[in-house]
Amino acid sequence: MTAYTLYTETPITRLFFRAALPGAVSMLASALYQLFDGIFVGRFLGETPFAALNLAMPFVIINFAVADLVGVGSSVPISIYLGKREDKEANNIFSAACILIVASGAALGAILFFSAPLLIRLMGAEGEFAGLAVQYLRVYALCSPVTTIVFAMDNYLRICGKVRGSMFLNIFMSVLICILEFLFLYVFRWGIWAAALATCLGMGLCAVIALCCFAFGNMQLRFCRPHFSGTMLRQIATAGSPNFLNNIAGRLTSIIMNIFLVRFGGESAVSIYGVLMYAEGFILPLLYGMCDSLQPTVGCNWGANKFARVRAIEKRCFTATGVLSLCSAAVLFLFPAQIGALFLGTANAALLQETAYALRLFALAFITRWFSFAAQSFMLAIEKPGYACVISVSTAFFFPVLLIALLWKLELTGLWLNPAGTALLAGILAVILLAHFRKHSPQVFEKAEKVQG
């Protein structure tokens, strides 16, 4: 069965479970290695290395942002071209995107390696705290050319209908990273740099495996001698800009948050915020995996003008993300002390109590966070980057910074409430934009065909 047949002819409910569940499991596997990264560093190395990891993490994610721009930006037109049966153009974009990702990874990695001490110092860190953060960041920067492509490979595998293959590769990557990190930190007693090295080794190996599948396997997407053009580059940049802006804006927000965390509560506040981000890093990949794995499905049907199937897929997507998000909110609210102890241990009772308080306020964000998330994914899948960019930038930067100013007097409590307020405002914005889109695209909402469930 070709990817086109899979996405355009499989009954909707069966297609949803076949695409969304492996995608969610795949991203869960990715979330698990990030979760264990925080647990291992916090438990084996201590509170200062854990805080240093979280101080450096925004720059690590920025390092992957350009690759994500190209990976996601190329995936959308590739899916639509495949839906139109224009395989040659899809292969050209695929091949060009792979070259762009490796080249951008090398360039940005070099910049981050040499600027790491300055960047960490500008955030207010000093002494051992700053030195550990620089170590962690520089390992990622050195490995950037061979690691940043791994997430794009995940997208390309799903486009080819290899949803389960993508899932198993992510599971293998997560297990490998966890094993390496345990060996490096617990058995060999190496420092924080080894935590970054373990992750980079796992990513690099899985990126090579995926590339070999496309080079030597029987895939719908194939490498070719790419022909670069201004039109193709603009198409990639336009489609990938919502995710790119979300990554960059979100990391800028994290940097601003870290500056105020250091000011209001020092290393302890940075550690607590790190726990919140690890909790979010476990939940959002599930939502992202579900929505992102459906993007090739939505894009392919959109390209084939099967709008009724697009509507049916999105109904299931919004429902599933809503249920998952509300369940996550309940877990965070009911078990905050246990979650905090995973990373920080139980020795510092005052720190653990403040972490539990912060997690309960943070849990409120997931009551509404799912709606803007699913809406942004839908707009991205159908090549409506303008709508997606507005949701993305507002959620990642504009609303959080606005709330930092409005809740300034509450100090740390205001920072813990920030995600919940941001999610509420983002949900309202998504409702407004979806209503506007419906008004200007009535054909998408008219009953055009009978869709089998």
Per the listing, tokens 């506040």 go with: 269
Predicted local confidence at residue 272, as pLDDT: 92
Predicted local confidence at residue 288, as pLDDT: 79
User: Which residue pairs from 100-104 have beta carbons closer than 8 angstroms and sit at least 24 positions apart in sequence?
Assistant: 100/70, 100/236, 101/66, 101/67, 101/70, 101/71, 101/148, 101/149, 101/152, 102/145, 102/146, 102/148, 102/149, 104/66, 104/67, 104/70, 104/148
Q: Are 60 and 140 in contact (CB under 8 A)?
A: yes
Instruction: Give, rounded to a whole angstrom, the gap between the first and last alpha carbons of the chain.
Output: 19
**Rounded to the nearest 10 degrees, what angle do helices 349-363 and 412-440 cross at?**
20
Q: Please count the residues of the chain.
A: 453
pLDDT, tens only, 123-157: 888 899 999 999 999 999 999 999 999 989 988 99
Predicted local confidence at residue 448, as pLDDT: 45
DSSP per-residue letters across 237-253:
HHHHHHHHHHHHHHHHH
Predicted local confidence at residue 16, as pLDDT: 82
User: 358-369: buried (b, 16+ CB within 10 Å) or exposed (e) per residue?
Assistant: bbebbbbbbbbb
Q: Are 150 and 168 in contact (CB under 8 A)?
A: no
For residue 107, which amino acid is it?
A
What angle is formed at CA 304 by the lines to CA 298 and CA 307, rounded to 5 degrees? 60
* Rounded CA separation 40/35 (Å): 9
Burial of 8 (0-12, 13-18, 19+ CB in 10 A): middle
pTM equals: 0.73
H or E stretch at 186: none
Residue closest to 57 by CA, chosen among 199, 227, 162: 199
Tokens encoding 313: 């897929």
Residue closest to 179 by CA, chosen among 339, 26, 36, 343: 36
* Rounded CA separation 325/8 (Å): 28
Q: Are 178 and 164 in contact (CB under 8 A)?
A: no
pLDDT, tens only, 335-390: 999 999 988 877 788 889 999 999 999 999 999 999 998 998 888 888 787 888 89
Residue 377, Cβ neighbours under 10 Å: how many? 26
Instruction: Please provide residue 346's backbone torsions phi and psi, each rounded to the nearest 5 degrees.
Output: -120, 5
Predicted local confidence at residue 322, as pLDDT: 94
Predicted local confidence at residue 393, as pLDDT: 87
Mean pLDDT, consecutive 10-residue segments, the chain of 453 residues? 73 82 76 83 90 89 87 88 88 95 95 95 88 96 95 88 86 94 96 96 95 88 92 88 79 86 87 89 82 80 84 90 94 94 82 94 95 89 82 91 92 94 96 87 54 53
Per the listing, tokens 């003008």 go with: 305
Positive/negative CA dihedral, 78, 65, 233, 214 = negative
* Rounded CA separation 22/27 (Å): 9
Predicted local confidence at residue 249, as pLDDT: 82
Q: Are 23 and 289 in contact (CB under 8 A)?
A: yes
